[in-house]
Amino acid sequence: MDLTDIDTILERAYQNGRPFFLCLETMESKLKIAIQKSGRLFEDSMRILKEAGIEFNNGVNKLKSEAVNFPLEVFFFRDDDIPQYVEDGIAEVGIVGENVVIEKNRDVKMIDRLGFAKCRLSIAIPKDYPYKSTQDFQGKRIATSYPRSLSIFLKKNDICAEIHEISGSVEIAPGIGLADAICDLVGSGSTLLMNGLKETEVILQSEAVLIGNKALDQTKLSILEKLRFRIDAVKKSKNNKYILLNAPNKKLDEICRIIPGMKSPTILPLAQAGWSSVHSVVNENDFWGILEKLKEYGAQGILVIPIEKMIL
Ligand code: ATP
Ligand code: ZN
């Protein structure tokens, strides 16, 4: 076959559309990722991919979108369906709340926690109820969209209660006499408050997770590893800050011990004798404690700067 033949084949294929697509698809293997179509997870799921340097055609249609600079295809589904689609291989990986993964109990692999959509699944009751212990739920009606998770919790605590499965607006159930309590997702707790409810038991903590099909081939696994590497760099950069400060030389050892950074801090002499500039990386969670100690050791001119990407 010479170049003219290929041109003719492509031209013919292009005219009737579909075969041309097939031809392109077989040229490059892509990892299919399922994310929530709309709702609380959509924005952050797209953001984490974008921050990982993955760009999409403007044409994000309702069903799927292809990355232009990474072998990834994004499919948009209802979050409840994602574990099943990943188990069935419709998508090879997916981003979904851990609460949904636990509730749906599909045979998928938990790959990474993603650090957003943090919430908890809790039982809540009308705020005036004099709650003492989980035994107060004996014989009660509890409304929820999470029957499996609730039933595991009740069983573990030897509680016999009636589970009322409803699909939305669970928080209004006690107010309209449908249930005595609810078991629902809680973020800040403001929805409970607005509905005259108080949280009594936390059943599970959740955040967005990356899940995967258990039987990925080598090509897909290697794309997945590249994706994880990028997501990890984004996550680490969010949890860490770059810190610069001026330190008296006599306290350098103590200061370096509390901000060891990735390998060790950078120390540069200042023009003023007896002082150095120290550069390092600190974890967001330890930040305020470290700051107090730095001030104790006489550090001055402390600058804290966000990090865009971080690779160890
Ligand atoms: P869908 O239409 O896709 O079924 P949904 O209404 O079931 O969407 P959302 O309300 O968009 O779901 O929530 C999606 C996920 O976001 C939840 O499964 C949970 O992991 C997380 N989430 C829910 N509520 C909160 C909250 N208050 N704060 C943080 N994360 C939350
Ligand atoms: Zn849902």
Q: Which pLDDT value is given to residue 4? A: 44
Mean pLDDT of the residues in the chain: 91
209 Cβ closer than 6 Å to some ligand 1 atom: no
* pLDDT tens sequence across 64-119: 999 999 999 999 999 999 999 999 999 999 999 999 999 999 999 999 999 999 99
Average pLDDT for residues 186-196, to the nearest whole number? 95
The amino acid occupying position 44 is: D
* pLDDT tens sequence across 212-238: 999 999 999 999 999 999 999 999 998
Q: Which pLDDT value is given to residue 285? A: 85
Which residue did the predictor score with more confidence, 47 or 59? Answer: 47
Average pLDDT for residues 183-190, to the nearest whole number? 96
Q: Which pLDDT value is given to residue 11? A: 52
187 Cβ closer than 6 Å to some ligand 1 atom: yes
Homologous superfamily in CATH for domain 3-117+208-216:
Periplasmic binding protein-like II (3.40.190.10)
Residue located nearest, by CA, to atom 23 of ligand 1 = 185
Pairing label, strands 208-212, 93-97: antiparallel
Are 3-117+208-216 and 120-206 equal in CATH topology? yes
Q: How far is the C-alpha of 41 from the C-alpha of 306, rounded, in Å?
A: 24
Q: Which pLDDT value is given to residue 292? A: 93
Residue 8 has pLDDT above 50, yes or no: no
237 Cβ closer than 6 Å to some ligand 1 atom: no
With 0-12 CB in 10 A as exposed, 13-18 as middle and 19+ as buried, what is 191?
Answer: middle
Residue 44 has pLDDT above 50, yes or no: yes
* pLDDT tens sequence across 283-309: 988 889 999 999 999 999 999 999 988
Task: Quickly state the pLDDT bin for 277 (edges 50, 70, 90).
Answer: very high
Residue located nearest, by CA, to atom 12 of ligand 1 = 39
Q: Which of 26-40, 72-86, 184-198, 257-271 has the lowest mean pLDDT?
A: 26-40
In angstroms, the first-to-last Cα distance of the chain is 48
Return the domain boundaries, the chain: 3-117+208-216, 120-206, 240-306
Residues contacting 254, CB < 8 A, separation 6+:
297
Residue 19 has pLDDT above 80, yes or no: no
Ligand 1: nearest atom to the Cα of 97 = 20
Q: Which pLDDT value is given to residue 259? A: 94
Residue 2 has pLDDT above 70, yes or no: no
Q: How far is the C-alpha of 120 from the C-alpha of 149, rounded, in Å?
A: 12
Q: Which of the listed CATH numbers 3.40.190.10, 3.40.50.300, 3.40.1130.10, 1.10.3720.10 matches domain 120-206?
A: 3.40.190.10
Q: How far is the C-alpha of 176 from the C-alpha of 155, rounded, in Å?
A: 27
Reading the block at residue 185, the tokens are 């997702």
Instruction: Tell me which CATH code domain 240-306 carries.
Output: 3.30.70.120
Q: How far is the C-alpha of 287 from the C-alpha of 41, rounded, in Å?
A: 28
* pLDDT tens sequence across 123-175: 999 999 999 999 999 999 999 999 999 999 999 999 999 999 999 899 999 99
Q: Which pLDDT value is given to residue 17? A: 47
Q: Which pLDDT value is given to residue 59? A: 63
Q: How far is the C-alpha of 169 from the C-alpha of 140, rounded, in Å?
A: 19
Continuous segment of H or E residues that includes residue 238: helix 218-239
* CA atoms within 13 A of residue 112's CA, in its CB half-sphere: 19
Q: How far is the C-alpha of 102 from the C-alpha of 220, rounded, in Å?
A: 25
Out of 185, 205, 206, mutate this one to test ligand 1's pocket (max ligand atoms within 8 Å of CB): namely: 185
Centre of ligand 1 to C-alpha 134, Å, is: 26
169 Cβ closer than 6 Å to some ligand 1 atom: no
Q: Which pLDDT value is given to residue 256? A: 94
Residue located nearest, by CA, to atom 21 of ligand 1 = 117
Q: Which pLDDT value is given to residue 60? A: 54
Centre of ligand 1 to C-alpha 83, Å, is: 14
Residue 1 has pLDDT above 50, yes or no: no
